[in-house]
């Protein structure tokens, strides 16, 4: 509700002065000066925001009752797809054409993730139960 309160609670707003400090620190690091001293402290402070900015979007596919749910999932380029096995039976995610490396056999509640960074239609199946099939469409 209170904008002032929110500003205090979240570390989000990045002041221009802080950006300049980080740019300056990067320049100093690049030149090699102060690398040992400034590295750890500046790295620690800058990292959470850098990770948040580049963190890919995540979409979930559940594996339950011997099926991928949803069977077809359409995502944007760069999306991280996470499959989670909700069955008591082991399952596995394998690309039908080798477009991505197969997961290991997943036990109950195990997950496997892959980031789709090229557009295309990616068919996959469970190598343990080959009748289980799914598709990721990347646009
Ligand atoms: Cu399976």
pLDDT given at position 79: 97
Ligand 1 center from residue 82 Cα (angstroms): 16
Query: What spacing in Å lies between the alpha carbon of 117 and ligand 1's midpoint?
Result: 25
91 Cα to the center of ligand 1, angstroms: 4
Query: Is the backbone peptide bond immediately before 115 cis, with ω within 30 degrees of 0?
Result: no
**CA 133 to ligand 1 centroid distance, Å:** 9
* 101 Cα: distance to centroid of ligand 1 (angstroms): 16
pLDDT at 28: 37
Provide block-wise average pLDDT over 10 residues at a time, the chain (139 residues). 44 46 42 42 46 72 98 97 98 97 98 97 98 98
Distance 85 CA to ligand 1 centre (A): 9
Instruction: Provide the pLDDT for residue 92.
Output: 97
Q: How far apart are CA 68 and CA 65, in angstroms?
A: 8
The gap from C-alpha 104 to its chain's centroid, in whole angstroms, comes to 19
CA pair distance 132, 85, nearest whole angstrom = 13
From CA 94, how far away is CA 106, in angstroms rounded?
12
Are 118 and 129 within 8 A, CB to CB?
no
pLDDT of residue 54: 55
CB-facing half-sphere around the CA of 62: CA atoms within 13 A: 6
């Amino acid at each position: 509700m209170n904008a002032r309160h929110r500003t205090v609670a979240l570390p989000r707003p990045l002041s221009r002065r802080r950006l300049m400090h980080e740019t300056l620190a990067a320049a100093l690091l690049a030149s090699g000066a102060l690398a040992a001293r400034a590295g750890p402290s500046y790295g620690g402070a800058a990292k959470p925001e850098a990770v948040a900015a580049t963190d890919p979007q995540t979409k979930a596919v559940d594996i339950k009752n011997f099926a991928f749910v949803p069977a077809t999932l359409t995502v944007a380029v760069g999306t991280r797809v996470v499959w989670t096995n909700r069955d008591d039976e082991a399952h596995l995610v394998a690309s039908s054409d080798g477009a991505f490396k197969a997961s290991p056999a997943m036990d109950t509640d195990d997950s496997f993730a892959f980031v789709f960074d090229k557009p295309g239609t990616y068919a996959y199946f469970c190598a343990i139960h080959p009748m289980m099939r799914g598709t990721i469409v990347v646009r």
